Structure 1
């Protein structure tokens, strides 16, 4: 209204100024009901403008009065909406603060003052859940199922309630119903995926991954990691089967997994073991070398080492160098370089390898495994005092999670189905290995060697020496003494090695001569 008045006044002012500028604009006469009014044209224009202004003002006042009921209704609606918003805010704050009673009070109030029914139902369910009333919680979430936009939220709430009450079957049923909706939620997939893993249903989990990828619930990289770990778990289950066809299936799974994700070490280990049993040592070496290049792991070089048993220490050292070259700058390669030097028995190489590990042997980075390896290096150099010092430092050092993947018998990734579930989930989500044995604090392969002065022969090396020398054993300049790890090759127990007893020659008795 104010704007209209200002426009009219502006027009009148412009016309008046125009007439004033012209000079004599002439006369204007008005005859009405027998009366005659004569005036100047400028005055007539001003009078007409004033009358128009009054007419417009009267019309706007009339409209304003006629719309008063609507304005009052809108004001009441705004006040109600503001009250409802404040009630919802206080209710959700009470839920966040853990005050279930206050949350339920605000939720009941919101039913009367708030017109946003979906939000009120969500607050009602959350308040009941916060207060610990399972019956009210189930009722509130069940009521959401009748509202299309709240159905997924209702199914999620009921699923969490079922899981909290230990009803796993019901939780899976609800997650399945949510997953089968036209627009499924990520939580439904995660619930089903975890349920498949917990049940050890690797094949069903693989089908679920394919379906989720097609529906664009998961990313391609998540799909690849999940598939690789699931196929490795399937290979681990079938690896020890008596059925040759099952073992072939295990080999296929392991090879596909290792190719899909070379950084998933268990897949490479299982594939190498099965290829070695199939007399395909070269392919086994290729798989392990690719895995070492992607992500070095101590189980890789131990498996790589044991692929060939009939070789001398120096031959084995040369073969291990090929593995080191795949990832020279990694910490595991530096440690393997010292292992290789100890096998070769070269003191200059041992010294150089120990120097390369100096940064990994500092106080803040020192582990039991590094301490044990440095102790063996000192033994290889003949410095028993330094070797004992490293063993003493190992008592205060921490273990390595990766080393825990090898059990006390030297078996890598010999895990149960529940452990494999952790491996699969962790690798699929974070591209990292879980270490269940380390988390449980279980002992694995010894990390620190015994400071023993006994010579322990390695039979595979002796047999190899016999082959190359026609049955005669040439003297070996440096004995093969890689410490406790040698038991993994020979199968011997260092504490029960029989020491051959040497029979001492008895003095020969002479009969006394008789004098003639």
Structure 2
């Protein structure tokens, strides 16, 4: 208002000065109610400006007075809003500090002061949850369902509450309701996906993956991993079915999974087993070779080895070399190279393969499987002491997770439904293979060979101790060199006769004492 008046006065002054500055400023006359007023033009301009100024001032004052109630209401609302914001702030700070009781008190106060119903509902739910009051928590999250912006949050809170109470069916129902919303959240998909996995419902999980990909909840990579692992689990379930149609379905699942994700070893192994039973050895080898190129695993080469049984060791080594060539620099390929060398019993090849594994057989890299392999290699090279040393070293070495995927009966990936759930979820999320048997510490195929305890220079003493018929106290003592000639020369004591008994010292006859 002041700015407007100042502008009006400025314009009036400029006009008066301009009129006064001309040679003939002119006259102005006003006749009103039989009165006549004559004055100069500049004075008339000034008078008009003053009157306009007074009129505008009067009008603005009148408006200001008429708007006083609204100004007072806005001020009260601002004060109330500030108090509400401060109450919300204190409430969230109480939740963060773990004071659920004070947080609930602030939430109740904010309900009367704050117009932001969304934040008030959220604070009420968090405060009730912090105070471990299930009834109040359920009521707070249920109240969220009436607010469109908070419906997903309310469903999530109710689902978590149901899970904490052990009400799985209710939790799944709430997750399904959240997933059916126009814009579902990722947590709803994850809850349903994990529920299907836990129940072993592979077909339902596959359908869920397709729907989530269409709705752009998951990435194409996640979808491929999940589908491959789910189809492999389905194939494992149908692999031993009595019906031929089920086994055919298992083969179809396994082949599709192996093609979709060659790095998922169980799919390739199951597909190769089923193809081998169907006498499609060439196709089985192709599947295993593709999987080896993507992610080598000991179960792959063991399955590859067992595809053909009627072959000589050299032929088998030559065939396994084709697998090695698909990924020659990988650790598993170097391990397999040593296995092939042991098959052919070629000492130069064994020495070369041992040298290639030197980095994996030292320090923290060594595992029980490597110590067992190095022990076999040392024995094949004639280093019996070295072989025993590697076996002794195995007691301190760690196991291999991949080797644990093969059980004691040489069955690869013989998992239960719960194990498959872990494998599927881990591979879908991270792209790596979980090892449930390793986590449980279950025994699998032997990693360390059973070596003979015979040590030539000591065996004569051992056999001598076993075969002698005399008492232990009558065994030859170390100073009886003649009895140790066979031991020193490394001879066997199979033909050593029983030792003659040691001569006994004759007792002195007791002489009766003379009677006094």
Q: TM-score, normalised by structure 2?
A: 0.81
1:48-70 Cα shifts (integer Å, max 9, x gaps): 44544444344333323322221
The 10-residue stretch of structure 1 (305-314 or 92-101) with the greater mean CA deviation from structure 2? 92-101
Q: Is the 8 A contact 2:19 2:41 kept in 1?
A: no
Tell whether the 8 Å contact from 1:275 to 1:284 is kept in structure 2 after alignment: yes
Q: How many residues align?
A: 453
Aligned to 1:63: 63
Counting only pairs closer than 5 Å after superposition, residues 86-485 of structure 1 correspond to structure 2 as: 86-452=86-452
Stretch moving more, 271-280 or 333-342:
333-342
Runs of 4+ deviating beyond 6 Å: none
Moved more, 398-407 or 410-419: 398-407
Q: Map Cα deviations across residues 35-85 of structure 1 (whole Å, 9 max, x no partner).
A: 5353463x5545544544444344333323322221221122122122222
Instruction: After superposition, give the CA deviation of every residue in 1:352-387 in whole Å (9 maximum; x if it has no partner).
Output: 323332333342333222333333333333333443
CA distance in 2, matches of 1:255, 1:367: 33
Structure 1 residues 16 and 317, CA gap change in structure 2 (3 angstroms)? farther
| CA drift at 1:164 | 1.1
- CA-to-aligned-CA distance 1:292-312 (integer Å, 9 cap, x gap): 111111111111111112222
In structure 1, C-alpha distance between the alignment counterparts of 2:165 and 2:102, rounded to whole Å: 25
1:181 is paired with a residue of what secondary structure? coil
Structure 2 counterpart SS, 1:31:
strand
Shift in alpha-carbon separation, 1:30–1:377, aligned structure 2, 3 A: farther
Compared with structure 1, are the counterparts of its residues 56 and 254 closer, same or farther at alpha carbon in structure 2 (3 Å cutoff)?
Answer: same
Contact persistence 2:19–2:25 (CA under 8 A): no
2:85 maps to which residue?
85
Q: Which has the higher contact order (CA 8 A, sep 6+)?
A: 1
Q: Is the 8 A contact 1:427 1:433 kept in 2?
A: yes
8 Å CA contact 1:25–1:40 kept in 2: the answer is: no
SS of equivalent residue, structure 2 residue 365: coil
Q: Any conservation in 1 of the 2:84–2:113 contact (CA below 8 Å)? A: yes
The alpha-carbon deviation at position 414 of structure 1 amounts to: 0.8
Q: Select the structure of larger CA radius of gyration.
A: 2
Segments of 5+ residues of structure 2 without an aligned counterpart are 455-494, 496-516
- Cα 1:370–1:25 change in 2 (3 A) is farther
In structure 1, distance between residues paired with 2:23 and 2:450: 126
In structure 1, list runs of 5 or more residues that go unmatched: 455-503, 505-516
Partner of 1:31: 30
How far did residue 258 of structure 1 move?
Answer: 0.8
Alpha-carbon separation, structure 2, partners of 1:201 and 1:366: 40
How far off its partner does 1:423 sit? 0.7
C-alpha change, 1:37 and 1:389, in structure 2 (3 Å) is farther
Q: Deviations over 1:196-223 (max 9, x none)?
A: 1111111122222222223332222222
Secondary structure at the counterpart of residue 395 of structure 1: helix
What is the RMSD of the two structures over their aligned residues, measured on CA atoms?
2.6
Partners of 2:361 and 2:371 within 8 A in 1:
yes
1:372-407, Cα deviation, whole Å (9 max, x unpaired): 333333333333344344334433332222121111
Q: Distance in 2 between matches of 1:310 and 1:32?
A: 135
SS at match of 1:364: helix
State the 1:276 CA deviation. 0.9
Deviations 1:154-197 (A, max 9, x none): 22222211111111112222222222233333222222211111
